[in-house]
Structure 1
Amino acid sequence: MNNTSVTRPSFLQAGHGTTSAVLLVTPDMAREWLKHNTHNRKIRERAVADYSRDMAAGKWLMNGEAIKFSTKGALLDGQHRLHAVIAAGVSVLMLIVTGLDEGAQETMDAGRKRTTGDTFALRGETHFTVLASVLKRVWLWDQGDHRFTQSRVPTTAECAQLLAERPEIRRSVEIAVRVHAAFRYLPQSATGTAHHLFSRIDGAEAVWFFARLGDGAELPAGHPVLTLRNRVMTERADRRSVPDYRYMAYLIRAWNAVRDGRDLGRIIQAPDAPMPMPK
């Protein structure tokens, strides 16, 4: 291939072996190449949506992963990226490899996918797994997914952008880790997300709330934080499976009661009840 003159792979290059080039892949090129997508796995629409959002936002970086074609011209790998180029309506630089044995398709995408937490670890972030979890939930919350259904999840680039815009989330993660070390009955992802949301409303009150959540010090009977602690300890003792959104609801109900200055005898969140909003 010639990097400057080739506009699409030469699918049949007899005697030329495996070839590669970096090309600016346009939506029209992607449509043409997908005509050769005759033997591949089922399209995952969420992956296409995730990739296309990053491409449209200019956050898709060429990372060496190739669009791959066989010696017979069949598309072996890259269908999701090509569909994303079309969906985004932008042109993207990509590495193109042709002339591969068709049997090589069985070995593609067999490795463990790099997670958002892995990326933050490489960047030197502390508590990177918790940080990734909190960023995803804050992103979902801001998108209106208050029950964390994750029908649409943020990409690593979107999580990184959120952290750049709100670096204070790192502090929320630190608080979540600290609370969990003292009181191990709440998931750090829910605690960190709640800390960030509550701190937006009243930073000073959030400091007190999460300090008492961790140590339970001098809380009288009926105090919302004590009721919250008792609720989650009981559920853990009963080995109940509690989804993250319900932990969030418990935290918000306790927080709202503290803000209102009222006691809270019990915390209930029915499965079909709407998520309360922090105030």
Structure 2
Amino acid sequence: MYNGDSIRVSKSGVLLDGQNRLMAAQKAKVNLVCDLIVGLEDEVFNTIDQGRTRQKGHLVARDLGSITTTDAQTLTTAVTRVIKYQESLSQLTTGGFEGKIAHKFTAPRVIEYVNQHPELLDQLEVIKKEFGVRCNLSRATLLYVYHIGSRYDATYTLKFLRKAVLAIGLTGDETLYFYHQCLNEYKAKQSNWTKAEF
């Protein structure tokens, strides 16, 4: 039934709104009666349906294309934590007064980081496979730790996470060694960690 909802297309030819309706019409082999609006700015996508800016995870999923929204949200949270860590910001930092540091955590910044570090997508798959829903730490936290630790030793970091999260695979001496590496090489500061991460 015609209800006034439109199919919206950007100036560059990107379908901004209506994909599900068009796919449903194609699958059902029926004609779709609707309005068609073309020539919109690409940024309009951020406000469609919700009337407000979409969550970063949705924008990251859209731009990466080969990732689910759930995985994109995990990736977004992990990358935001990595950026905070690298820039010596507290993990509790948000947008800051009048958004002065909010630019650090935007979807384009997350996508830029993922493009510079494509191994993150493989690391996400490892975290999903290894830990599933068997622990009380979020996948984003696990990915954050695994990504940073992998800069030094991916195999050992995974062993450490198994020990820390699932309590398997490391001796006491190995655990102490890894904590020593964290504190020295990662230059970790307690004030930059959340209570759970510490």
Q: TM-score range by the shorter chain?
A: 0.5 to 0.7
Quick one: which of 56, 67, 80 aligns to 1:125?
A: 67
Is structure 2 residue 46 aligned with structure 1 residue 63? Answer: no
1:170 aligns with 121
Secondary structure of 1:274's partner? Answer: helix
Structure 1 residue 177, shift from structure 2 partner: 2.7
* 1:198 pairs with one of 149, 163, 167: 149
> Where do residues 142-153 of structure 1 align in structure 2 (5 Å cutoff)?
142-150=86-94, 151=96, 152-153=101-102
Name the structure 2 match of 1:49: none
Distance 2:170 2:93 in 1: 34
Q: Against the structure 1 CA distance between its residues 223 and 186, is the aligned structure 2 distance closer, same or farther, given a 3 Å change threshold?
A: farther
**Offset, 1:199:** 0.7
How many angstroms apart in 2 are the aligned matches of 1:219 and 1:163?
Answer: 30
Tell me how far apart the structure 2 counterparts of residues 206 and 218 of structure 1 sit (CA, whole Å): 11
Mapped partners of 2:182, 2:78: distance in 1: 23
Matched-pair contact (CA < 8 Å) for 1:209–1:255: yes
Q: 2-side partners of 1:273 and 1:259: how far apart?
A: 12
Change (3 A) 1:162 1:182: same
Return 5+ residue gaps in structure 1 as ranges. Answer: 1-21, 23-61, 66-107, 226-252, 261-271
Q: Residues 155-186 of structure 1: CA distance to partner in whole angstroms, max 9, x if unpaired?
A: 11111111110111123322333344253211
Counterpart residue identity of residue 60, structure 2: F
RMSD: 3.6
AA partner of residue 274 (structure 1): S
> Which residue in 1 is equivalent to 2:21?
none
Which amino acid is 1:143 matched to?
A: E
Percent identity between the two aligned chains: 17
Per the TM alignment, residue 110 of structure 1 is displaced from its structure 2 partner at its CA by: 6.1
Higher helix share: 2
Does structure 1 retain, via aligned residues, the 8 Å contact 2:77–2:140? yes
Of residues 131, 134, 138, the one that matches 2:82 is 138
Look at both structures and tell me which one has the larger radius of gyration over its CA atoms: 1
Residues 120, 147 of structure 2: 8 Å contact kept: yes
User: What is the CA–CA distance in structure 1 between the aligned matches of 2:60 and 2:157, rounded to whole Å?
Assistant: 26
